[in-house]
Amino acid sequence: MPIRIQNELPAKEILERENIFVMDESRALGQEIRPLKVGILNLMPLKEDTELQLLRSLSNTPLQVDVTFITVSNHEFRNTDKSHLNKFYQTFEEIRKKRFDGVIITGAPVEQMEFEEVDYWTELREIFAWCESHVTSTLYICWGAQAALHYYYGLSKKVLPQKLFGLYMHKVLNRKEPLVRGFDDYFVAPHSRHTTVPYEEIANCPDLKIMAESEEAGVFLCMAEEGKKIFVMGHPEYDRITLLKEYQRDKGKGLDIQVPQGYFPEDDDSKRPSLMWRAHANTMYTNWLNYYVYQMTPYVWEDDK
């Protein structure tokens, strides 16, 4: 799938080296086609890493996708150069009158804080409300999923006794649902979080349908309103070395961090991590774009005046 991004976005060169079809703005102007408009609210600290991971994940269908990176106004991100944000991102205020076929809201390193303590919580609530009327389908990842479940359904998050960190086995529960079409019965996916939304709260919420779960990691995929809202509790977009970098970062800080479960061969952190989740991750994002965005969105969106 051709992904339409800004001409000078750093991820563009890496994606092209990986033979991923990337279309810059100038070429896209000559295409007589209605691309899908997908917004990515990137709340992760290492913006460029997350950009690359998500663009990889969105690159596996024949659909053309026009990506807009979005940021919040009420927070200073210290791990990304301001010039990068100013050049490649739009604030919510700048896009709030626009309509999108799909939106992705990422995780964020604020999970151990109460939702109301997060400095952009008020703005994020506005974004959640805006998604109801301006987006065909929204996909929420990790803390973004926890925050959305709290906002929409009043579900709580609980601090885990130990960080959930590594690769975990999951079981597909609703095979007929298009979101998990093409999945094996069992699959692995990365998690990296200190909190969880209890399985019982999700299972007892009549608006939510659980698509995949893990005995150790709890619910992995659930959805509401026939896919208008999709919640992903882990990080299927992570690349091979993301958990490695997090592990090395925490070790470097002297934190009591365990070796990521099931990640290194023989749990030996001197060995190259195994990549065992990308096929299912790509399938999930492809299914989301095809069945819940492309198949459901109107051909013409009229932005607010």
Name the catalytic one among 142, 205, 213, 280. Answer: 142
- Exposure of 187 by Cβ count < 10 A (0-12 exposed, 13-18 middle, 19+ buried)? buried
Q: Enumerate the β-bridge partners of residue 36.
A: 65
The helix/strand/coil state of 3 is: strand
Name the catalytic one among 134, 170, 191, 235. Answer: 235
The helix/strand/coil state of 23 is: strand
- Exposure of 261 by Cβ count < 10 A (0-12 exposed, 13-18 middle, 19+ buried)? middle
Closest listed residue to residue 39, CA positions, set 51, 23, 22: 51
- Exposure of 50 by Cβ count < 10 A (0-12 exposed, 13-18 middle, 19+ buried)? buried
Q: Locate tokens 């969106």: which residue? A: 301
Catalytic status, residue 280:
no
Pairing relationship of beta strands 208-214 and 218-224 according to DSSP bridges: antiparallel
Taking the C-alpha atoms of residue 204 and residue 44, their distance in angstroms, rounded to an integer, is 30
Catalytic status, residue 237:
yes
CB 22 within 8 A of CB 2: yes
Catalytic status, residue 235:
yes
Q: Locate tokens 């896009």: which residue? A: 95
Q: Locate tokens 């990308």: which residue? A: 278
φ, ψ at 34 (rounded to 5°): -95, 100
Name the catalytic one among 191, 237, 246, 280. Answer: 237
Q: Which residues are catalytic?
A: 142, 235, 237
